Structure 1
Amino acid sequence: MHVTNFTSSPEFLCFLVSKVLIDPGGASCHVKALVTCSGTNLMLPNKPGWLAIHQAAWYGQDTCLRVLLSGMINKRTERGESALLVAISKERLQCIEVLLERGADPDIPNYDRETPLYKACERNSAAMVAALLNHGAAVNTHCIQGWTALQEAVCRNNMEICEMLLKAGAKHNLTNMYGISPLFTAAQSGQLAALRFLLKHGADINSQAADGATALYEAAKNGHEEVVELLLSQKADANKPGKTGIITAPHRRPERNIVSMLIQATSKTRVCRTGISPLHLAAERNRDDILETLIEAGFDVNAQLSVERSKLYEDRRSTALYFSVINNNIDAVRMLLAAGANPNLDVFRPLMVAARLGCIQTVTLLVEHGADINACIPTHPTTFPAVYMFSMKYLPMFKYLLDHGGHALSCFDCIYGNQPHPPVETSRLFCEMISAPSICRWAGPIIDVLLDYVGHVPLCSRLMEHLNSYSDWSVIKDKAAPPRPLLQLCRLQITELVGCQLVKKLPLPGSLIRFLKHQEGPVDDC
């Protein structure tokens, strides 16, 4: 029976090479003896696909390398790594020099197409880069992601390596698979020294990535203030649009100082053409500091999203005010309204959003600045003010809206009158809307409040059904029955003639003014 001699196996040779760490002289002699006398096949890999040469490079055993190099200097592992690439990954400079002196190919990549030079830049080692360049390594090879050695050196802000690469013929205008150049990388990662170096050597300051972004855009987005300042001083174009049409400045999430710098270089006319204002983004992200800066700089608080951008939102929002209201950001709402924001530009009004959120403070701010309480939703028309759909569960808010001009009479309009109503399918009529399961439990109090703002009105059969459903609500039916009190009719007549906003200026006693203004009870805050 044939027995394999373990001492002649490649596994033993790899094991022996690793032991040079313990006994360099003795182990290297054994390696030499195995190679020259025992017939060990150096071309057979061990299980991971490594040859003894890779093991020697890994452990930095240049003495063993000199013995092992014959005939297999450029052999690769299962991952495509040559001994040179292994030595560079472990930063074994002496091994690197031995391999290069014995003719190792400096350009053999691994299966990710990372060359030894690329790896040396990744390890941030000027000595390894110099050794490779001295042996003719190609400088403009792309890895699988499209990065070059120069781009890797720029990412690490290593000027010594960058200088060596450019002298060796590296091109600073090559881009990776995303269209990103070394200059873009320097700006994106805030590497000021590398950025200055590339600009000095003629890199295009306004080059764009595949998505249209510029170096200035990325520096601003990532909050690199000094980089933004340098780019602007070198005439970077702050108005260069990307494929999406968004101007680079001052979008996304820059710091306030950066925004201030960019505003000076940004054309408001160009911003208008993009279909989105930086005010929208500041409001959407609750950046009150940026919002204030933009308002002070004169950006239009009533700028609306383009139709295409508005369609990206299910509610078809269009103004910065809407973003602030839906975020329940009262400070931003106050700031925008004080600067002249119109609360009536959106299809679905900010007032309706505030009512749905249940915040009387925002509702009050909007009404005080001219929000139309009686507006309807064009896509969902109703015979009554649409805001009522979102406020009736909160009676103080509902009453506030009625006090400030909300129509009440339209709530009693019903095409069916005393006749039986069909099953509820829509909420176009008030009596249908109040019959929804989520609202009908408050039907009595809601009708009771409404009756304070109308004169003689008939109650349709659907409203009567609700009032008959609970014994305590019978007094509400009595309240609606004619004739209505003369005092109530007089209040309605005076309010209609003077207007609810001017009632408080009438030369009348305070108690009468309070009666006219329906101020029998306080309005709670949110």
Structure 2
Amino acid sequence: MDFSESYSDSVGSVSAAARSGSLAGVRTLIRAGLSLDVRDNRGWTCLHEGAAKGHKGCVREILRAAVASSTLDFPLFVNAQTHEGETPVFLAARFGHVSVVKLLLKGDADIDLQTNDLSCPLYAAVDGGHTEVVKLLLLQGAQVNRSHTASWWTCLHLAVYKGHGEIVDLLSAKADLESQDDHRITPLFLAAQYGQLTCLKKLIAAGAEVSVHVSDGATPLHIAAQEGHEDVVAELLASGADPNKSCRNVLQWAQLPIHAAAQFGHSGVLKRLIPVTDRCIDRGPEHVSPVYLTVMSDQRGALQLLLTEGYSPDAQDSEELLELKCPLSLAVDLAVSEPERGLETVRILLSAGATAHREIWAHVLKSEGAELLQLFLDFRTFSRPSSVSESPGSESPGPGSESPGPGSESPGPGSARALTELEVEDLVKECGSQVQNSSMWMPLLLKAGLDPHALLLDQICSEAPGASLNLLLQHLNWSCLSLGRRLILDQRRTSRTWEPLPMFDSIPSLFHLCRLLIRDVLGSASVTKASVLDQLPVPLLFHHFLQFKDVQ
């Protein structure tokens, strides 16, 4: 049976008259002796009908007749509950009929009788924002701290959720400000969660605690930061909320409000929290930088803001807490699986100076396309090592990094920076492990200025595809290879796993030896720059030759 919709054939005559507000009809039917206690399919009587519609005259007439009736139990009639447990005073309170509520209370209506879903007249009045009804019920002693509904909300919880500031004022004078629902959520926490600034201010003024913890460990400042309520965050901070108070018993690391703002990309909130948050979370052990959260949730605006404000693009090693060594490793993973998302994040981190370690190079060199590696090379340059080559054009023992030579350029603010020796060392080691993909990465690395001697590894000599090996050898003096390398190449030639170019059977040309010498003096990275070559007393026609652009 439907308890919410009234079936016309079940409604009594007095009820129909009371619903329509016909006082004359109600009087006539009562004098005719018709019953007041006829219930419809919802369990409603005529008193429910009059109360719900706010027909004060009809309600008064029905109450008088009920008092005079010898067949009705007046207290039971006044407090009769529908199939949903609703009394006449509950319905009058729900719809804001203050005069009818007053009349029913004078008729001994139970002010606190609960419905099936644990609501009551005061809770219903608060729900509807009926301030005058709330005033009346509080004046008549309605209970304010009782829990309602399956969530254990009090009337104050509901008033805050609905944003009824004046009612919050009324309830705060009598209610328990720290009352908790089934998740230990207080009214002030609700105000922070739903951005009810006016209610929040009233609760704070009344003395509510601003740094309570709910069952999942969050504080009002956490939830306001998560939901992006900047004005609420500002009010909480001004009222003493601690931005360095972490969630308890939720994660293995201290999650602060700034983490929530970063994860959901609320830049306005971040601007409020950055100046007041302890910066130990940026690089400190057993902490997690909010930079990680922005990368995880693809919040690039928030990431850019954190980096601009001085947060490290490398953060701290979080392998134990997040199974991530640095934010860049996560961004690179995303760039491989979801290029549209990850590449831009990689760009932001690289432009901020993020460091590349071997794990990152592994993902970059494994990438099927060259876009990711090229992005790294757009933001990183190679510089000359402090050690000097053994002899011009011969194999070099250096790791492949180069320091600026004569006429080279130092990267300015915001431009590409030089890879550190450790970064280059990790890159070269990984090149030795990614030989089969060398047709993708070798041309790019050589073009970007990596010293080709650094790539003359045993793994590359013995395993690289023929085209890659030939490309590398064309950047070297192939006649001056070490005995060990020559033996490897001879074995490959014999086993037909490598087809050398005919030129490798001859001594390199004088032109080639000269450019090797110039490259050795300037550095491999320097000869890639037109601005460096323009300073040399060399015809423009030779610039491409000096940059090895004739090598296929």
TM-score (norm 2): 0.70
In 1, Cα distance between the equivalents of 2:502 and 2:223?
66
Counterpart CA distance in 1 for 2:208 and 2:101 is: 32
The worse-fitting range, judged by mean Cα deviation, of 293-302 and 346-355 is 346-355
Aligned match of 1:28: 26
Q: CA deviation at 1:353?
A: 7.6
Report the alpha carbon displacement of residue 138 of structure 1 after superposing the two structures with TM. 0.6
One-letter amino acid matched to 1:319: P
Residue 394 to residue 47, structure 1, CA distance change in 2 (3 Å): farther
CA deviations on 1:111-138 (whole Å, 9 max, x unpaired) are 3322221221111111111122122211
What is aligned with 2:181?
176
* Number of matched pairs: 465
Offset, 1:28: 0.8
| C-alpha displacement of 1:305 | 4.8
Q: Where does 1:435-474 land on structure 2 (aligned, <5 Å)?
A: 449=471, 452=474, 455=478, 457-458=489-490
Which whole-Å CA distance do the structure 2 matches of 1:283 and 1:87 have between them?
Answer: 54
Asked if 1:364 corresponds to 2:377, the answer is: yes
Cα distance change of structure 1 residues 104 and 41 upon mapping to structure 2, 3 Å threshold: closer
Look up the equivalent residue of 1:261 and give its one-letter code.
Answer: R
Larger mean CA deviation between 155-164 and 363-372 belongs to 363-372
> For 1:318, which of 326, 329, 334 is the aligned residue?
326
The 5-angstrom pairing of residues 46-57 of structure 1 reads 46-57=40-51
After superposition, the Cα gap between the structure-2 partners of 1:402 and 1:127, relative to the gap in structure 1 and judged at 3 Å, is: same
Secondary structure of 2:48's aligned partner: helix
CA–CA separation in structure 2 for the residues paired with 1:485 and 1:80: 102
Q: Secondary structure at the match of 1:251?
A: helix
Secondary structure, aligned partner of 1:520: coil
Q: Determine if the alignment matches structure 1 residue 269 to structure 2 residue 269.
A: no
Which deviates further from its counterpart, 359-368 or 317-326?
317-326
Q: Is the 8 A contact 2:435 2:459 kept in 1?
A: no
Q: Given the superposition, is the C-alpha separation of residues 54 and 61 from structure 1 closer, same or farther in structure 2, using an over 3 Å criterion?
A: same
What residue is the counterpart of 1:251 in the other structure?
A: 262
Q: C-alpha distance in 2, partners of 1:41/1:209? A: 50
- Contact kept in structure 1, 2:370 and 2:440, CA below 8 Å: no
Deviation digits for residues 215-248 of structure 1, max 9, x if unmatched? 2222233333332222222222110011332121
d(CA) in 2 for partners of 1:463, 1:121: 88
| Larger helix share, 1 or 2 | 2
Which of residues 449, 452, 455 in structure 2 aligns to 1:407? Answer: 455
Structure 1 counterpart of 2:481:
none
Instruction: Give runs of aligned pairs for residues 388-427 of structure 1, distance below 5 A.
Output: 389=437, 392=439, 397=444, 400=447, 405=452, 407=455, 409-410=457-458, 412=460, 414=462
Deviation at 1:89, TM superposition (A): 2.9
CA distance in 2, matches of 1:181, 1:166: 13
Q: 1:17 aligned to 2:15?
A: yes
Cα offset, 1:366, TM superposition: 4.7
How has the CA–CA distance of structure 1 residues 81 and 118 changed in structure 2, closer, same or farther, with 3 Å as cutoff? same
1:189 to 168, 187, 194: 194
Residue aligning to 2:505:
483
Show CA shifts across 1:18-48 (max 9, x none).
34455603431254247xx35x482x64333
| Alpha-carbon separation, structure 2, partners of 1:62 and 1:175 | 37
Kindly indicate whether residue 201 of structure 2 is the aligned counterpart of residue 200 of structure 1.
Answer: no
Partner of 1:150: 156
Can you list the C-alpha shifts for 1:125-180, whole angstroms capped at 9, x where unaligned?
Answer: 1111112212221101122212211122223333321222123x201111222222
Gap change, CA 1:353 and 1:194, over 3 Å in 2: farther
1:159 paired to 2:159: no
Q: Larger deviation: 60-69 or 368-377?
A: 368-377
Partner of 1:291: 303
| Residue 263 (structure 1) shift | 1.8
Q: Distance in 2 between matches of 1:459 and 1:45?
A: 102
Cα pair 1:375 1:386 within 8 Å, conserved: no
Cα distance, 1:207–1:254 mapped onto 2, change above 3 Å: farther
1:382 offset after TM fit, Å?
7.5
Native 8 Å contact 1:93 1:128 kept in 2: yes
Distance 1:511 1:159 in 2: 80
- Give 1:411 deviation, angstroms: 5.3
Work out the CA distance in 2 between the residues paired with 1:115 and 1:484: 100
Which position in structure 1 is the counterpart of 2:524?
500
Counterpart of 1:126? 131
Q: TM-score, normalised by structure 1?
A: 0.73
Query: Partners in 2 of 1:387 and 1:197 — Cα distance?
Result: 67
What CA deviation, in whole Å up to 9, does each residue of 1:160-202 have, x standing for no partner? Answer: 21222123x2011112222221112222222222222211221
- Shift, 1:110, TM fit: 2.6
- Contact kept, 8 Å, 1:88 with 1:119, in 2: the verdict is yes
Distance 1:341 1:360, change over 3 A: closer
- Cα distance change on mapping 1:186 and 1:398 into 2, 3 Å: same
2: CA distance, partners of 1:208 / 1:430 = 59
Shift of the 388–161 alpha-carbon distance from structure 1 to 2, 3 Å rule, reads farther
Aligned runs of 1:340-359 on 2, under 5 Å?
Answer: 340-344=353-357, 346=359, 351-352=364-365, 358-359=371-372
Match of 2:400 in 1: none
More relative contact order, 1 or 2 (CA 8 Å, 6+ apart): 2
User: Where does residue 278 of structure 1 map in the other structure?
Assistant: 290
SS at match of 1:200: helix
Quickly say closer, same or farther: Cα 1:158–1:359, change in 2 above 3 A.
same
Within 2, Cα distance between the matches of 1:253 and 1:16?
58
Counterpart-to-counterpart distance in 2, 1:170 and 1:132: 14
Instruction: Name the SS for the 2:83 alignment partner.
Output: coil
Is residue 384 of structure 1 aligned with residue 384 of structure 2?
A: no
The residue identity in structure 1 corresponding to 2:278 is S
Deviations 1:323-371 (A, max 9, x none): 3773656665455445432122756656448775734541313542428
Secondary structure, in 3 states, of the residue corresponding to 1:173? coil
Q: Is the 8 A contact 2:177 2:186 kept in 1?
A: yes
Aligned-partner residue type, residue 255 of structure 2? I
**Cα gap change, 1:484 to 1:333, in 2 (>3 Å):** farther
Is it true that 1:231 corresponds to 2:236 in the alignment?
A: yes
Change (3 A) 1:92 1:136: same
CA contact (8 A) 1:408 1:453 kept: no
C-alpha distance in 2 between matches for 1:154 and 1:359: 50
C-alpha distance in 2, partners of 1:10/1:458? Answer: 102
1:447 and 1:18, CA in 2 relative to 1: closer, same or farther beyond 3 A? farther
- Superposition RMSD on alpha carbons, in Å? 4.2
SS in 2 for 1:100: helix
Output the CA distance in 2 between the equivalents of 1:179 and 1:234.
Answer: 21
Which sits farther off after the overlay, 148-157 or 391-400?
391-400
Contact map agreement 1:239 1:266 (CA 8 A) in 2: yes
Amino acid at match of 1:205: V
